[in-house]
Amino acid sequence: MASRQQPVLPLAQRYVNGVPVPEKRFSLRTSEKYFVYLIVLVFISLCYSALFLLPELRTRTTYVDAPEKMFQHNVDLPGGNKGGVVGHNPLDKTGEDIHGSEDKKKFRLQLRLDETLQRAKDALNGGMNMGKEIVQDSKKDGMGENAEKDDKLRVDVAKDEHKDVKEEVDQDKQKFLEKQKEEEAKRKEEQKEADLKKAEGNFEGVNLPDGEPDDEESKKRRDAIREMMLHAWNGYEKYAWGANELKPISHVGHSASIFGRSSVGATIIDGMDTLYIMGLKDKFLKARTYVAHDFHFSATTDLSVFEVNIRFVGGLLSAYALTGDEIFKTRAKEIADKLLPAFNTPTGIPYGLVNIKSGSGRNWGWASGGSSIIAEFGSLHLEFMYLSEITGEPVYRQKVDKIRDVLNSMTKPNGLYPNYLNPKTGKWGQQHVSLGALGDSFYEYLIKSYIQSGLKDERAKKMYFEAVEAIEKKMKQTSPGGLTYIGEWRANRIEKKMDHLSCFSGGMFGLGARYSNKKEHYLELGGQIAETCHQAYDNTATKLGPEAFRFEGRSEAVAMRQNEKYYILRPETIESYFVMWRLTHDQKYREWGWEAAEALNKHCRVDSGYSGIRDVYATKVGHDDVQQSFFLAETLKYLYLLFSNDDLIPLDQWVLNTEAHPFPVIKNWST
């Protein structure tokens, strides 16, 4: 029987009147034809692509094949690229993408490092495999003891060879890293140079007057003070750049405990504005470059809130006030922000120490049962008020206003402010009042806050004059020889002693006289304190003042104890000479200042700077080998201003903080 012809495609069963009808179909339906056409069309498209596109693709290099191509920009734009592409100028066939140049360098260096490491890995793997093959072949061939020794020797030789390869690769890696460091250092230096050129154009700042004195004698003396500054700065720059202070005899850096264990360039920050005021442009610009590129305030130990504020925050704010350079404001704010955790106390009275890494605060262990010290927490006002003024951020002002709120509301024993206040309980500590150590600058900041506010801070003025009246009533003394001094009050008993630190008060009383209804009285009191401190200088063999002096028996203004006889380049007496000169123009203040300058050059000057001395009464001095940062910030600045005209840092337009950093009077101060 002939075979039945099968249909081309499967058939669906059809029925007629319920009876299945056999059906044969040898053609495609319309939908099926379209499906076949689609398959043919796709096939033709693939053939076309293979014919016309694959040759071009074969000539291209992918980023996987050559990753360096990522940084090649060959872009053709309609009509050329005359204007450049936005954000890339230029970005055409003739130019280089300046935004990608640094990435290109880093990418190529990384490629070289990866290649070097891969070679090392391949060499080591190859050596290990070779050694294994030798041992396996030896065992397989059944070699004797001598053969095994030979094989071991061959393995050792192979290991040595591979060790040499590894050493070579390590050397290549080291060279690569050194070159990378060199290129990075070169890049930083280029950035510094560009930044320096930009800063040079802004050096004039607020355009300070030169302040050159009218008489020749004062000109010569002022030039001599400038030379002293250069001598101190050059020694530091040569032997201790970036350290906190200089040991000018040992020719190394030095750091006191107040700075923690970190080198944060205290002398640079503290001395910058003195350089600027003296017109030492090149030195100032180098200091500015350090602040902009190398200054990193990241100590990991406890730091003195007071010292960091007056030296670092104060020094940077002063540099900003004099130059208008934003970098100084930025750095000042960065540091002030790190001090803010110290204010986290129940009363708002800050701790004396803060760890800027952990944010924890504490007080000095010896400070009257965990108390804060009034000279420290009371000497933040000028800096924090000015910082809020120039940043527009009220937090700094709020912190110091809170301190004033607390102090103003407290009951004062006999109208006096004791040196210690517990930040947790808000109660006074030991009943000890001093215009020297522990108390001094608190009173200075009261009257200077009034001046800084444009004479609008009436609360500061009231607190100052009430405190001064109490001090006069309870602490002012007159020696049998007629010397006026401010003793120390200890629970209703007066200690007949003055610290060198309290010698600033001559200038403070004189400055406050301008704003008192008893002007002549306070001006006279300021002159009397300045004269007493001068006498303390004059009583020594070196004509430099001791750390403290007493009025006991026949001895007046003389240090009685060995631990009071040293001099560490302190500025307070010279500060009073300067302020009293500005207020009276009495020539004796310039003469006394010059005597101090001559004594400094005779007894404290060494080959690379200035050093403190251990005994001001000894004819043969012994040096302590420390050039304090405040010597450049305060002592030399006050001497320079003493021999300058009054238009250089006028005292009705500027206030100097307790580290002699000048801030301008705030014109738009508001309560």
Label residue 114 by pLDDT band (50, 70, 90).
confident
Q: What's the pLDDT at 141?
A: 55
Residue 94 DSSP symbol: T
Q: What is the pLDDT of residues 569-614, one digit of tens each?
A: 999 999 999 999 999 999 999 999 999 999 999 999 999 999 999 9
Question: Each residue of 621-649: b (16+ CB within 10 Å) or e?
Answer: bebbbbbbbbbbbbbbbbbbbbbbeeebb
Q: Is residue 328 part of a domain?
A: yes
Q: What's the pLDDT at 587?
A: 98
Q: Is residue 593 part of a domain?
A: yes
80 pLDDT above the threshold of 60:
no
C-alpha 307 chain-centroid distance: 14
Mean pLDDT (the chain, rounded): 85
Average pLDDT value for residue range 340-354:
98
Q: Is residue 88 part of a domain?
A: no
232 pLDDT above the threshold of 80:
yes
Decide: 547 and 567 in contact? Cβ < 8 Å: yes
274 marked among binding-site residues: no
- One domain for residues 273 and 395: yes
Q: Is residue 59 part of a domain?
A: no
521 pLDDT above the threshold of 90:
yes
- One domain for residues 466 and 416: yes
- One domain for residues 136 and 231: no
Q: Which of 175, 363, 208 is nearest to 278 (CA)?
A: 208
Q: Is residue 626 part of a domain?
A: yes
Domain boundary among 198, 232, 256: 198
Q: Say which residue, 132 or 200, is predicted with more confidence.
A: 200
Q: What is the pLDDT of residues 247-265, one digit of tens each?
A: 999 999 999 878 877 899 9
Question: How many independent structural domains does the chain possess?
Answer: 2
Q: What is the pLDDT of residues 602-611, one digit of tens each?
A: 999 999 999 9
Q: What are phi and psi of 315, to 5 degrees?
A: -65, -40
Share of the chain above pLDDT 70, in %: 75
According to DSSP, the residues that pair with 623 across neighbouring strands are 613
Among the ranges given (74-78, 96-100, 174-178, 359-363), the one the predictor scored with the smallest mean pLDDT: 74-78
- One domain for residues 183 and 267: no
Q: What are phi and psi of 523, to 5 degrees?
A: -65, -40
- One domain for residues 245 and 215: yes
**CATH number, domain with residue 214:** 1.50.10.10
Amino acid at 572: E
Share of the chain above pLDDT 90, in %: 65
| SS3 per-residue string spanning 599-627 | HHHHHHEECCEECCECCCCCCCCCECCCE
- One domain for residues 193 and 206: no
- One domain for residues 576 and 600: yes
According to DSSP, the residues that pair with 627 across neighbouring strands are 246
CA angle 440, 444, 614 (to 5 degrees): 40
Q: Is residue 558 part of a domain?
A: yes
- One domain for residues 180 and 266: no
56 pLDDT above the threshold of 70:
no
- One domain for residues 243 and 299: yes
Decide: 233 and 275 in contact? Cβ < 8 Å: yes
pTM reported for the whole predicted model: 0.75
Q: What is the pLDDT of residues 270-322, one digit of tens each?
A: 999 999 999 999 999 999 999 999 999 987 789 999 999 999 999 999 999 99
Q: What's the pLDDT at 34?
A: 76
- One domain for residues 334 and 449: yes
Q: What is the pLDDT of residues 531-566, one digit of tens each?
A: 999 999 999 999 999 999 999 988 999 999 999 999
The reply to whether omega before 90 is within 30° of 0 (cis) is yes
- One domain for residues 428 and 564: yes
Q: What is the pLDDT of residues 421-453, one digit of tens each?
A: 999 999 999 999 999 999 999 999 999 999 999
Domain boundary among 179, 198, 217: 198
Catalytic residues: 307, 440, 547, 572
Question: Each residue of 561-581: b (16+ CB within 10 Å) or e?
Answer: eeebbbbbbbbbbbbbbbbbb
Domain boundary among 198, 227, 258: 198
Decide: 223 and 213 in contact? Cβ < 8 Å: no
Q: What is the pLDDT of residues 369-426, one digit of tens each?
A: 999 999 999 999 999 999 999 999 999 999 999 999 999 999 999 999 999 999 999 9
Q: What's the pLDDT at 63?
A: 46
Decide: 542 and 599 in contact? Cβ < 8 Å: yes
Domain with 373, as residue range(s), is 201-664
According to DSSP, the residues that pair with 486 across neighbouring strands are 476
Amino acid at 121: K
Average pLDDT value for residue range 484-503:
97
Q: Is residue 9 part of a domain?
A: no
Q: What is the pLDDT of residues 496-516, one digit of tens each?
A: 999 999 999 999 999 999 999
Q: Is residue 55 part of a domain?
A: no
- One domain for residues 116 and 240: no
